[in-house]
Chain A
């Protein structure tokens, strides 16, 4: 169903972090950007669709006014808003937002870091754009920071802080079907596996809380009103966002899941874990009849690699890319 294509070489290897791959497709310029985090560096590769041109850039997470201070990055993700695309980098020190090519930093938000290290680590993790003008970023305290992003310029402001989670945020996702019919358009997940479902707005509204069973939800997606959640036990669960009804449970992987992705136009689901496997599934959701179907389509084994990132390269799921711990390449697969 899929075959391996030429890999993209990286300047350094991927770190073992959840959701450690982000992809941005820029159709007008026939380019695709990839970002992979290595400790305190974001590796960016820009590839032309004809496969002939590659260019690399590295971003370091540094506080703009402190020359020597660097910190470990937890996640780097592209946020596509109707008016602009931004690259958001979340680290131990704070949150940075760049133009999508990484050329200019447009915003910096510092986290409250204590003077001396405390037992609970402080960091930002979990990044998603939601509706037309918001970007949400999670924090280790469980808070979710909501940033209001104007259509251009650097006048980004912190609009709200959502305080519902008690454990560190792991991942955040927004409704990606493109349809406005769904009430909920944001889901946030934490270290305890708890999921919160929200409706965005000037004031975000909490619609539902789905309790975790003390097992981390490391990656989450929201599609057609359904939460797709990947857990440390290797399970994937599908919940109806607003009601919390469990539609499906999949014993998908033999180790901790690190990444989930969905191709919104085709309903293809990608899951990747420490067990070296990337699996492709097909989802079929009919909100009217409340029916959910999930079928397994394909396996890829990346030998001797703990996978930390897997993303579709396009909305149909025609191609996907994978990163692994200690691997200095982005492996690509294309439908046969």
Chain B
């Protein structure tokens, strides 16, 4: 439908990913002098955490990548987008197991679905995006080079979206809602805050402020042919609404007013998802993106750009890998992988290094760097489709 939705999807999901990773990295932080006491999950010192965040943000806002992203195009399939985020999550020294990556993606998507649904006006999605951008800017405020990349992206966002009409924003919103259709994964923090029901559906309150531009429902006005008001009638609106809040800022700086898109995680509020009980509601899994090839040509372009823009990181040598676990313990993580319902698997497309060395020397090098002995996530390079072959086959 709308051909301008991908940048919003990517930036907002990316923002949520950074919130979650930041929280997990902080939670796994052990003071430097205790670093010698290693468990299977090593200590993350502040320096490493900042480095991971910087690396991911640099990749996210890579110039060539964004150029591709901002071109008019249809939304990616769920599989393709998940693959892009897989790559992004691994753009640093950090490693995530399949189960943790699945959970990360679940959280990201449910959070953004919630924000899109709850936006009072379709154009508030831009405010949500700006909230994410504001937080990203804060993550890299000490690194001028990345900061300038982020600022450029602000400019692009504002330039592209502020002139659009309400109808066009609604079309984007409707496109995003099709992408999120039938996703009802329960998120602990949402359940606790009572913004999500136990059946996975979000709570849509019938109270609170009306959107800007909307009047509180309840009045009927009848006019004469000459335009004067003849009668005024009131009716009961069945809810409990209040006047609209003030307008948020659509510029680079300013108060966005809405809290949607701000960081709801903190060290004391850990992230969890419940997988049980979701299989029933996901039974009607959409078959929309049943394209024969999960990565169409355009999506491959984006992916290729992303891979090309990756700075190769050497994983730490002495330590047992910089692994991040989205679960409380290793056992939980393993359990989650085993018990994940089939219909909720993302079917991530695995990419194998190609035979054409010249064309994909960079790709090969990067894939080579990713492979670590004993690292479960190296399954990415051991099986699956050949990238070039896929492109040829289209």
Contacts and interface: CB of A to CB of B under 8 A. Distances in A.
Interface of A: 11-13, 15-17, 38-41, 68, 72, 74, 92, 116-121, 123, 167-168, 170, 190-192, 214-216, 218, 232-235, 245-256, 275-277, 290, 292-296, 299, 301, 303-306, 325-326, 328
A304 B196 CA distance: 10
A38 B217 CA distance: 30
B237 A118 contact: no
B214 A254 contact: yes
Interface stretch (B1-9, B56-64, B327-335): B1-9
B1 A234 contact: no
Contacts of B122: 232, 256
A214 B166 contact: yes
B219 interface: yes
B181 A191 contact: no
B237 A191 contact: no
B209 to A, nearest CB: 9
8 contacts: A16-B177, A40-B288, A92-B1, A116-B72, A192-B165, A216-B170, A250-B219, A277-B237
Contact of B3 (A13, A15, A117): A117
A138 to B, nearest CB: 13
B376 to A, nearest CB: 34
Contacts of A190: 167
For the complex of A and B, 4 pairs with smallest distance between CB atoms: A191-B167, A296-B235, A251-B215, A39-B288
Interface residues of B, number: 59
A293 B204 CA distance: 32
Contact of B171 (A121, A192, A305, A328): A121
A247 B222 contact: yes
B279 to A, nearest CB: 15
Contacts of B168: 191
B382 interface: no
Which label, helix, strand, loop or mixed, suits the secondary structure of the A interface?
loop
B206 A15 contact: no
Contacts of B184: 326
B15 to A, nearest CB: 23
Given A121-B1, A276-B206, A304-B201, 15 more contacts: A13-B181, A13-B286, A38-B286, A72-B1, A72-B178, A118-B3, A121-B171, A191-B165, A192-B167, A249-B220, A251-B215, A254-B210, A275-B217, A325-B181, A326-B181
Interface string B56-94: 000000000000000111100000000000000000000
Contacts, number: 169
B204 A304 contact: yes
A277 B292 contact: no
B238 to A, nearest CB: 4
A123 B292 CA distance: 23
B246 interface: no
Interface in B32-74: 71-74
Interface in B198-229: 201-204, 206, 210-211, 213-223, 225, 227
Contacts of A40: 288
A247 B231 CA distance: 11
Interface string B128-145: 000000000000000000
B174 A17 contact: yes
A304 B239 contact: no
B202 A235 contact: no
Given A119-B3, A121-B1, A301-B238, A167 B217 contact: no
B284 A11 contact: yes
B217 A234 contact: yes
Contacts of A255: 120, 211, 214
Contact of B237 (A39, A168, A192, A299): A299
Contacts of A74: 1
A192 B166 CA distance: 8
A68 B292 contact: yes
B236 interface: yes
Contacts of A120: 3
B117 interface: yes
A296 B220 contact: yes
Contacts of B121: 232, 256
A39 B210 contact: no
Contacts of A294: 220, 222
B241 interface: yes
B166 A249 contact: no
A168 B2 CA distance: 12
B318 interface: no
Interface string B286-318: 111001100000000000000000000000000
A304 B173 CA distance: 18
B233 interface: yes
Contacts of B206: 254, 275-277, 301
